[in-house]
Amino acid sequence: MSTEFGAASSTDDVLGDINLSGKTVIVTGTSAGLGIETARALARRGARVLGGVRDLDKAYRATEAVRAAAMEGGGSFDLFTLDLASLSSVRNATDDLRGRLASVDLIIANAGVMACPQGVTADGFETQFGTNHLGHFVFVNRLCGLLADDARVVLLSSGAHRFSDVDLDDPGFARSDYHPFVAYGRSKTANVLHAVALDARLRGRGPRVAAVHPGVIQTELGRHMTPDLLAQIMPSGDQPAFTFKTTGQGAATSVWAGVVAGRAAVGGRYCEDCHVAELTDDPQSRTGVRGYALDALRAEALWTSSEQLVGESFDVA
């Protein structure tokens, strides 16, 4: 009988005594928070984990527990340089990985930025859309040739996708006022749409792709949260209050979708609290996924637009 997991489940609850020896996993953003916990839980169960980070020195200091877990569980953990706000860095990282890996069993696209001041990436894209979506769009798509037939890809989205659909006509706020959470919401909707489009391309060969919402966790992701910004998203009226998760609980849905859940059940879907989320367009709901985030035509339009923006086409099937 299968075990039911939920919002309070941790990575250790979800993974239990699963043995991941022989599995190769790539996790982005392993210098803090959810990325560290995700890497620790997988390496502890024997996986070979490669963590992509912007600052190798910072990451090495921050991941002592990951290396200890890997040693205890028979896995391994190595770092590589990856700046998702620079497509040159993304391409260098993927070229290196393709040159030294025979295959990959799981990619967890965990890194990201949230509610930052208006700015642009090294390539001139709005910071959040360029980092959270376009950086991972190029990174993951360039590695699809390495995916084993039973591999999975997990793209971290957020409940903040409910703040906004993508704007394909004005992705950089050139003709509209910038708002940090609207920009964040656009990028997180883009993560779900990327999962939808990529899953449609890969599932005929075997690999499946899911988007996940980790929950509300107090990590370095919130470094730009001013009191004013926090007030703007705090529950009001009859809305339920936020329930904060630990990092172990926050990373649980990533490893659940990547290792434990049924492949067909999560492929092309949006997951939260260790289950596939229900479709809802209720503006008061703090759970569930918006219809526009799972729209296949919207996903294809974003794919085409993203290829044009990054100047690279991807035949990933």
The residues spanned by each domain of the chain are 11-309
pLDDT tens digits, 229-262: 555 555 555 555 567 899 999 999 999 999 999 9
Closest CA to 53 of 111, 139, 115: 111
Task: Reply yes or no on whether the pLDDT at 207 is more than 60.
Answer: yes
Confidence of residue 1 (pLDDT cuts 50, 70, 90): very low
Reading the block at residue 3, the tokens are 């075990």
The Cα 69–Cα 126 span in angstroms is 37
Q: Please list the active-site residues.
A: 184
The single-letter DSSP state of residue 219 is S
Closest CA to 46 of 64, 19, 65: 19
Q: What angle do CA 308, 162, 12 make, to 5 degrees?
A: 95
Confidence of residue 304 (pLDDT cuts 50, 70, 90): very high
Cα 205 vs. chain centroid, distance in angstroms? 22
What pLDDT does residue 243 have? 78
Q: What angle do CA 271, 192, 237 make, to 5 degrees?
A: 70
The Cα 153–Cα 76 span in angstroms is 20
Q: How many CB atoms lie within 10 A of CB 72?
A: 10
Which pTM value belongs to this model?
0.93
Q: From residue 189, how far is each of 165, 196, 204, 210, 291 by CA, in Å?
A: 6, 11, 24, 13, 10
The CATH homologous superfamily to which domain 11-309 belongs is: NAD(P)-binding Rossmann-like Domain (3.40.50.720)
Task: Reply yes or no on whether the pLDDT at 310 is more than 80.
Answer: yes
Cα 197 vs. chain centroid, distance in angstroms? 15
**Mean pLDDT to the nearest integer, 83-112:** 98
